[in-house]
Structure 1
Amino acid sequence: MRPALDGTNRTGGRNPFAWAEYDGLPPAVRRVIMFAPTSLGSRRARMNLLKGRTVAEVCAIERGVAIGITRRDILEAYGPDHPFLSKAHVA
């Protein structure tokens, strides 16, 4: 992630993150973002909540995104024979 140049604490990139957005999320969504195995932004979760999705749906979306990013990174680094990419983790 790259820091913003306007003096705020938000970051840009593929998964933009801002503490103000993060602090406004429900605790369950904040936990998913905080303990994800990869960097997840706050923007997608906030926008999904504003669109009317439930907290459970937003948590499921964020978990799915985290698994997808992790899977992509493992494929790039280790190839398709890595144990994480077993049938249980392939969607």
Structure 2
Amino acid sequence: MTAVKAPHRIRVLGKEITVKSTASPQHVQEVESLVNRKLTEAQALVTGGDPQVHVIIALMNLAETCITLTQDLAVQERGHKETVERLVRRIENILR
């Protein structure tokens, strides 16, 4: 069964828009807050100029964080897999 997407009103860059999501209202609000925080950080880094530059910087920063976390998770997963394999070998050796 597919989750139903509910409409949520958010405000980004001073514009109120409706987005549809299966996430809880609290989660959508967290995402909205993060996006606005990253946009504010980008605006502080580059004063004036084209507003699209702020959006691009915010997107680049979010993408960098996403990629880093994905890579970190992959390293952790490999470590867990190696630990499980080592424990299974130890158990098998004990049972022999």
Give the TM-score normalised by structure 1: 0.38
Which structure shows the bigger proportion of residues in helix conformation?
A: 2
Structure number, greater radius of gyration: 2
Which structure shows the bigger proportion of residues in strand conformation?
A: 2
Give the TM-score normalised by structure 2: 0.37
